[in-house]
């Protein structure tokens, strides 16, 4: 039995790996990469079979945030040319969210920029969620509105909200290097508040922000301690105009190792491949489906993902099935890239290596919520 077989057995028993074992996954060689993926797949298959859950993001308030999260294109002082708009109207939110549902999403994630909602904001979002749920009773709604004050999680739950997302993002030790306007402990408290209100806790991380391997293990263990039902794993999209612009420190292989480490630490959690998958995993995205059991369909909050139809084709080609989707009605016959994508020139082939920065793959979102163009589903 190899050390990876033993690690998978441990995860299947629901036991935590040691820190050394988690670090060993991150430090494993490219020669061991397929063994790492295969071991993580044993765990993924036990809890989720070959199903992939689709989630759909709707940015219901974009940009102009007073917080300074260094990774975020919506932060105070951001020069990133992202869409900026205040709260979308209920019918706009519903139309965009339903486009995601038509594409196969079983969960819609309503996300607003800002430190946290006022009570009036909660009224507005709760009303929107209640209207959406009346039309789509079987679709889970996750809210992501920032730090919550007393009683707000309960009011969201009462409106029919299923889950609340608030990411830890990185380790407690690294937190001050990625944000100075709020603290790691604030984030932990909000996840706890959501859980106490009966909302399904969703909390994850962003890799590629200058953290060490120890930081990645720390945040994975901290997430496990919070018992989140879902764990989104993002890979930094280094937007121009943000403090982390130009920071390209991930390779497709490293992304797979990070996902596998999270799977071993949180074996039965919904591990969700989130922002940055297209630009960092690139052609290795289908391999990640053997580790994660959930992805976002289509676009992200401020950046464009690959066409939703390409997501569905990738899942089918890799031999997985979309969870609970029945017959997604929005699978187009073609996989033509979005007309709004105007790719920058790729690096010359002679320069392409796993560690080559790929700013040509970063596209600011110009369609869907807050625009007159159809959503990418």
- Show which residues are catalytic: 65, 69, 72, 109, 142, 202, 272
* Options 42, 53, 75, 272; binder of ligand SF4; rule CB under 6 A: 75
- Which tokens hold the place of 273? 């491949």
- Pairing relation of β-strands 51-61 and 294-296? parallel
Report the residue number, 41 or 71, with the smaller CB distance to ligand SF4.
71
Report the residue number, 42 or 187, with the smaller CB distance to ligand SF4.
187
Regarding 80 and contact with ligand SF4 (CB under 6 A), the answer is no
Regarding 242 and contact with ligand SF4 (CB under 6 A), the answer is no
Report the residue number, 21 or 211, with the smaller CB distance to ligand SF4.
211
* Options 65, 108, 287, 312; binder of ligand SF4; rule CB under 6 A: 65
- Coil, strand or helix: which one is 217? helix
Interface stretch with ligand SF4, choices 49-57, 71-79, 210-218, 244-252 (CB under 6 A): 71-79
- Please report how close the Cβ of residue 60 comes to ligand SF4 at its closest, in angstroms: 12
Contact 216, 265 (CB under 8 A): no
CA distance 192 to 22: 25
Place of tokens 């039995």: 1
Regarding 277 and contact with ligand SF4 (CB under 6 A), the answer is no
Contact 203, 223 (CB under 8 A): yes
Contact 249, 280 (CB under 8 A): no
CA distance 126 to 141: 11
Regarding 67 and contact with ligand SF4 (CB under 6 A), the answer is yes
Backbone angle region of 160, left / alpha / beta, with phi > 0 → left and psi within -120 to 50 → alpha: left
* Options 55, 96, 113, 377; binder of ligand SF4; rule CB under 6 A: 113
Binding track, positions 139-178, relative to ligand SF4; x by CB under 6 A: -------x--------------------------------
Regarding 42 and contact with ligand SF4 (CB under 6 A), the answer is no
Regarding 69 and contact with ligand SF4 (CB under 6 A), the answer is yes
CA distance 163 to 165: 7
Place of tokens 């970063």: 362
- The answer for residues whose C-beta is within 8 angstroms of residue 282's C-beta and 6 or more apart is 252, 358, 361
Residues that bind ligand SF4 (CB under 6 A): 65, 67, 69, 72, 74-75, 113, 115, 146
């Amino acid at each position: 039995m190899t050390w990876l077989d033993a690690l998978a057995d441990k995860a299947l028993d629901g036991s935590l790996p040691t820190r050394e074992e988690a670090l060993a996954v991150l430090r494993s060689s490219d020669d061991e990469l397929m063994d790492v993926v295969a071991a993580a797949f044993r765990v993924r298959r036990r809890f989720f079979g070959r199903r992939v859950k689709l989630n759909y993001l709707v940015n219901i308030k974009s940009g102009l945030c007073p917080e300074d999260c260094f990774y975020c294109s919506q932060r105070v002082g951001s020069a990133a040319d992202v869409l900026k708009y205040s709260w979308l109207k209920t019918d706009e939110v519903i139309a965009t969210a339903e486009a995601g549902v038509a594409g196969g999403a079983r969960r819609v994630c309503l996300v607003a920029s800002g430190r946290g909602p006022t009570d009036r904001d909660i009224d507005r979002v709760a009303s929107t969620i209640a209207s959406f749920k009346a039309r789509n009773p079987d679709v889970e709604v996750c809210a992501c509105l920032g730090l919550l004050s007393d009683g707000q999680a309960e009011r969201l739950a009462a409106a029919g909200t299923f889950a609340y997302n608030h990411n830890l993002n990185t380790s407690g030790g690294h937190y001050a290097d990625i944000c100075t306007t709020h603290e790691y402990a604030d984030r932990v408290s909000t996840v706890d508040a959501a859980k106490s209100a009966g909302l399904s806790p969703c909390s994850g991380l962003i890799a590629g922000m200058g953290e060490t391997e120890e930081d990645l293990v720390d945040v994975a263990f901290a997430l496990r301690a919070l018992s989140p039902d879902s764990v989104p794993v993002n890979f930094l999209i280094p937007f121009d105009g943000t403090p982390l612009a130009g920071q390209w420190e991930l390779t497709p292989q490293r992304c797979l190792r990070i996902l596998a480490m999270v799977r071993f630490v949180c074996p039965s959690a919904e591990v969700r491949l989130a922002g940055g998958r297209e630009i960092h995993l690139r052609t290795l995205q289908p391999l990640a489906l053997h580790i994660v059991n959930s992805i976002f369909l289509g676009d992200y909050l401020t950046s464009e993902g690959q066409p939703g139809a390409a997501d569905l084709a990738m899942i089918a080609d890799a031999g997985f099935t979309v969870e609970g989707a029945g017959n997604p009605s929005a699978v187009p016959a073609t996989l033509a890239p979005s007309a709004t994508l105007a790719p920058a020139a790729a690096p010359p082939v002679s320069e392409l290596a796993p560690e080559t920065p790929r700013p040509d793959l970063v596209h600011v979102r110009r369609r869907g919520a807050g625009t007159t163009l159809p959503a990418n589903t």
